[in-house]
Chain A
Amino acid sequence: MRSKVLTIDLSRYKYEIEDRSDLFDEWIGGVGVGIQLLKEELDPKSDPLSEENVIVFATGPFTPAYPLASKTVALFKSPLTGNLGESHAGGRTATSIANAGYGAIVIKGASKKPVYIVVENDKVHFRDARVLWGIEDSLIVGRIIAEREKGRGIRTVMRIGGGGERYVRYACVTTETYRHFGRLGLGAVFGSKNLKALVVIGRGGSVPADKKSYREVYDKIYRIATESDAMKKYHLIGTAVNVLPLNELRSLPTKNLKSTKFEGAEEISGEAFAAQNLGRRIACNHCPTACIHIAVLREPYEHEKYFYKTIMISYDYELIYALGSMLGISSREGLLKLIHRVEYYALDAISTGVCLAWATEALERGIISEEDTLIRLQFGDHNAYLKAIDYLVKQPTEFYEILAQGVEKASQVYGGDDFALAFGGNEMPGYHTGYGAHIGHLIGLRHSHLDGAGYSIDQKVKDLSPKELVDKLLKEEKWRQILSSLVVCFFARGVYTPQIVVEAFKPLGVEITEDELLKLGEKIYAEKLRLKRKMGFNIKSLRIPKRILETETLHGKLSKEYIDEALRYYGVIVKKLS
């Protein structure tokens, strides 16, 4: 098992490599090991944008042994929520780190001047990035670094754009052009460390403990991934296939969740994108599914006839929700331009969309004015939103400085928290399906739909009591600690069942039972919760935005009593675990 940890100290331009089989043996890898490293390295009370913040990138034992294990977990203190930050990304990051020989990379300190780091197997180079600082377009940053550095095909280029440099608290880190450590502001942490990019070049290999069964198990997983229906959704239309059914179920958040039925849903559906715009598919490294759907946007020059620029833009459900229905955008072209602008600055699309949706409603209600926004924000007007995204990065007024800190912060300053759609400080993902979704956003340890997948419970089960629902959410979240310790893509959760995970471990020389796995999932969950508590997480301070109670869901209107009861029950569990 791969157990080396590379620690890079940006304050001293030093690095060291340590074997931490103690951690990898006990906590698998990924989030399991990452939490332990963060506990060792990070003062939980530190300021997320100070040099004291620490970033852990952790991979797991299934990378690169098996397909679909193409994800890296990033852990850090989030400048958006002031609490634990966790974000996963695909691309080539995980395989490059693993092939370079590392289980995890830890980055601490802060550079005095802008730098980027190149990890080349067992060497680390600190490169001057003063000339790159100020380049706002994350695509250009990636291209320049790719041309300067070696390692074509076996490297990852994780970089920030203008968003991270300007400390937008929901700036992301982009890798391989289209994949992101999207949520909770890792980009701003890079920015605060004067770190423009982290390049990892890895070429390496290892010998399986059992050579014969390794190839057999590999083939079995590969067959399930390519021949069964386990990956079908992602293999065909992609996550954007969710738009129409969610709209049909009255669950598609629309115009700052004033509604869940969007008149423009057909226009921005996965089906419409596939038929009209889909230009290419690409894959994360070591994944046959190629779920990355890329649209072609052909745009004429403003003042010259017969000149066109052709831009390739990656789309997914969450982007279509956040920058589409949530902002009332029904023009696919307009929506693609918004997605591209967010990609350009390397911002989190969900948070950006939710912040702008709130600002639009706040302007409608007169709690802010056009003096604050500099432009008339109106649902459906993509040109205004394009400008507003520029302003979130350039921050020409105090209003944009504040909105760049998230919708929670903005509503604390200006009011309008009833319709400020954040949970635990993190902007809401695209599901207004019912109690499962929102209670999941509240209690999930990263306040994400991916913690307990409540949106899925809502669509499958009816009439659960608050207690039953919380139990279900926690059960899923605990199992997902295993998936994100391995680290496999959540889209492959149908492939990596507990039974397959146990089987896949064997050729790697690890004997573990399904029961032991489930118990370990619970343990990792508890460790994460305890760290979150040390960072100040308090269930009593969770805010329930009133808007979610006003707008009908798939299960009708939600009652506050139900949510309160669920939170009370969860509070007891938290107490027990801490």
Chain B
Amino acid sequence: MVKVAKRLVIKDVEKCVGCGICMYACARKNAKKPEIGMDSSGILAVSLSGFERGATVIFCRACTEPPCIQVCPTNALKPKKGGGVLLREDECIACENCVDACTIGAIFRRRNGKPAVCIHCGYCAKYCPHGVLGFEEVKV
């Protein structure tokens, strides 16, 4: 049986204007504790070595064998049903192994040293003003 899950996806990365609206949305995603800023944000908007070459976004691509999980010494990072990873913050010792392990640099170091990573909730996609991000069903 083919399983499907909803994930945050890139629809057209060439359309990215680098506004970072997604980063701020990510920080607000939790209705019970929205954050002003982007410390907890699991997505990052960057320029491509300067804005003359445009911009892009970086976030977890929900790989099947996540290296970040493999290097976590306390099992704070767990595979998430449907893809991606979940962080159990209380188990995390802020070693930053996961930050270094992610090949595409999609795990971010928060101020307290613990990681911030995309949970594929799709909240940011609702705010992407130019159709770069989508929240879609994918086969898993």
Contact = CB atoms under 8 A, between A and B. Distances in A.
B45 interface: yes
B129 to A, nearest CB: 4
A536 B44 CA distance: 47
Q: How large is the interface on B (under 10, 10 to 19, 20 to 34, 35 or more residues)?
A: 35 or more
A143 B109 CA distance: 24
The residue among B38, B55, B58 with the most chain A CB atoms within 10 A of its own CB is B38
Contact of B50 (A146, A281, A290): A146
B27 interface: yes
A206 B35 contact: yes
Contacts of A142: 50
B19 A283 contact: yes
A207 B35 contact: yes
B36 A205 contact: yes
Contact of B44 (A154, A286, A290): A154
Contact of A282 (B27, B35, B51, B111): B51
Given A176-B47, A222-B127, A203 B39 contact: yes
A282 B55 contact: yes
Given A222-B127, A285-B19, A288-B21, A211 B33 contact: yes
A207 B36 contact: yes
B116 to A, nearest CB: 9
B32 interface: yes
Interface in A149-190: 152-154, 176-178
B21 A177 contact: no
B36 to A, nearest CB: 5
A211 B17 contact: no
A281 B17 contact: yes
Given A95-B20, A153-B46, A285-B20, A207 B52 contact: no
B51 A177 contact: yes
Contacts of A64: 24, 36-38
B51 A288 contact: no
Nearest to B108: A203
B73 interface: no
Nearest to A281: B17
Interface residues of A, number: 46
B54 A67 contact: no
B24 A178 contact: no
B17 A283 contact: yes
Interface string A256-285: 000000000000000000000000111111
B49 interface: yes
Contacts of B28: 214-215, 218
A408 B17 CA distance: 39
Given A206-B35, A287-B19, A177 B129 contact: no
A315 B102 CA distance: 38
B51 A152 contact: no
Interface in B30-89: 31-40, 44-47, 49-55, 58
A212 B33 CA distance: 9
Nearest to B20: A285
A144 B137 CA distance: 41
Given A143-B50, A226-B129, A205 B32 contact: no
Interface in A72-113: 92, 95, 98-99
A65 interface: yes
Nearest to A176: B51
B115 to A, nearest CB: 12
B110 interface: yes
Nearest to B27: A205
Interface in A205-259: 205-208, 211-212, 214-215, 218, 222, 226
A286 B19 contact: yes
B33 A282 contact: no
A286 B52 contact: no
27 contacts: A64-B24, A64-B38, A65-B36, A92-B20, A99-B39, A121-B111, A139-B50, A146-B49, A146-B50, A152-B44, A153-B47, A178-B52, A203-B38, A203-B108, A204-B37, A204-B39, A205-B39, A205-B40, A205-B111, A211-B33, A211-B34, A214-B28, A226-B129, A283-B17, A283-B18, A285-B18, A285-B19
Interface of B: 17-21, 24, 27-28, 31-40, 44-47, 49-55, 58, 108-111, 127, 129-130
Given A99-B39, A286-B20, 19 more contacts: A92-B20, A147-B49, A152-B46, A153-B58, A203-B110, A204-B111, A205-B27, A205-B36, A205-B39, A205-B40, A215-B31, A282-B18, A282-B47, A282-B55, A284-B19, A288-B19, A290-B17, A294-B51, A311-B52
3 interchain residue pairs of minimum CB distance: A205-B37, A205-B39, A283-B19
